[in-house]
Chain A
Amino acid sequence: MKRVRVAPGKFVVVSQGMADKAARVFASGAFTRDQVREMAAAEPKSASGVFLGKSTAKRAGALSGKNGTLVRQSTGHVVVAGADRAPTKRKAA
Chain B
Amino acid sequence: MLTNKNEVLAAALDQTNTWLAQTLGRPDLQLQLISQPIARAAAMRFERGGGPRRKVHWNWEEIFFSRVRHQDAWMYAMVRAGRPRAMCYGRIQVKGGHVSLEYLERTPYARGIRGVTAPTAFQFARAVALLLDLREVRLNEPFPCLVRYYERVLEGAIRHPAVGPVKYLSVKVAL
Contacts and interface: CB of A to CB of B under 8 A. Distances in A.
B95 interface: no
Contact of A39 (B18, B55, B139, B153): B153
A49 B110 contact: yes
B108 A48 contact: yes
A75 to B, nearest CB: 7
Interface string B134-175: 000001111111100100110000000000010000000111
A50 B119 contact: no
Contacts of A76: 56-58, 143
A21 B14 CA distance: 12
A49 B57 contact: no
A15 B35 CA distance: 21
B33 A7 contact: yes
A43 B115 CA distance: 6
Contacts of B18: 26
Closest 9 pairs (CB-CB, A-B): A40-B115, A12-B10, A22-B11, A51-B104, A49-B108, A4-B10, A53-B103, A52-B104, A54-B141
